[in-house]
Copies of this chain bind each other. A is one copy, B any other.
Amino acid sequence: MKAAPECFICLLNQALRTARVTGLDQEQTKALLRQSCSYLATTDFERTPPEISEELYKLFSRQTGNQDPYYFLKRESIKKALELYPDLKKKVSEAADPLRTSLKISLAGNIIDFGAGAVADWARIESFLDPGNLEIDHYEWLKEDLKKARKIIFLGDNAGETVFDRLFLEQLEQKVIYAVREKPIINDATLEEAKLSRLEEVAKLVSSGCQAPGTVLQSCHPEFLSLLSEADLIIAKGQGNFECLEQERGPFYFLLKAKCEVVARYLGVKPGSLVITRSRNFIPKYHRS
């Protein structure tokens, strides 16, 4: 999915948010935004948003020397998610359909703002477990394809959310490959955060090789691309992975919250909607286009 005009605003807003998270002063922030504008004015917008944003975050790191502005926020998110984990595990085991419940909790990880207290989070998870809340719901297809698949790859998204993904991974018979970003970008999980989330116990962790907040195939390790080509099923989590891969032909399912107007419009749902969707370009094996 190519970037839309709205992405200019969103990307500039991300630069501002990153400046705030790291405590830049007003003048440093203005300087960062000036540089960000200069980059956005000239960069190729016929690309996906994660491709464009990768350079934006590098620009931030060059200006500030900070390679991982969301370091503490990522750790806090994982800590809070691990605190919720035992209760959620119980919820899954007691559910009428544990697989579906675990998938919904994994999706809930894509919506929870850990800035709010754990009680509020709980209330949001509870409301999320309501059956009528997926705007696109290809669960039955996914369930069937999961049964048939021998090699499964799960493309992770944010730190913290990783802990919620674990509940889903525990429901599967086979150990899946769980892929994360190569280097810190926003609050996306890298190998370090995946390990802190104790995903090693239930999945084979790999880095995709990609440094963007998504899975940009031309930036991935050749070894990772081999893994993708061998997979029978690829579950891609979050908006960034969706934006990068929805045009690809392969055994893709996308699990995400449509966080912005652009992606929501593209999916034909309201902003804020939660979806489990089989790729429009679904084929049982991955063929690089």
Determine if A73 is an interface residue (Cβ-Cβ < 8 Å): no
Residues of B within 8 A of A38 (CB): 37-38, 41-42
Chain A residues with CB under 8 Å of chain B are 4-6, 8-9, 12-13, 16, 19, 26, 29-30, 33-35, 37-38, 40-42, 45
Residue pair A37, B16 in contact (C-beta under 8 Å): no
In the bound complex, CA of A167 to CA of B118 (Å): 51
Query: Smallest Cβ distance from A65 to chain B, in angstroms?
Result: 20
A64 to chain B, nearest CB (A): 14
Q: A34-B40, A37-B38 are in contact. Are A16 and B5 (CB under 8 A)?
A: yes
B-chain residues with CB within 8 Å of residue A41 when the two chains form the complex: 34-35, 37-38, 41
Within the assembled complex, what's the spacing in Å between the Cα atoms of A34 and B13? 16
Main secondary structure of the interface of A (DSSP, over half): helix
CA of A35 to CA of B41, assembled, Å: 6
Residues of B within 8 A of A33 (CB): 5, 8, 40
A28: nearest chain-B partner, CB-CB: B5
Query: With A and B bound together, what is the CA distance between A43 and B6 in angstroms?
Result: 22
CB atoms of B37 and A19 under 8 A apart:
no
B residues less than 8 Å from A6 (CB atoms): 16
Known contacts A41-B34, A41-B38; decide if A8 and B12 are in contact (CB<8 Å).
Answer: yes
Measured between beta carbons, the chain B residues less than 8 angstroms from A13 are: 9
Provide the bound-state CA to CA distance between A6 and B26, in Å. 10
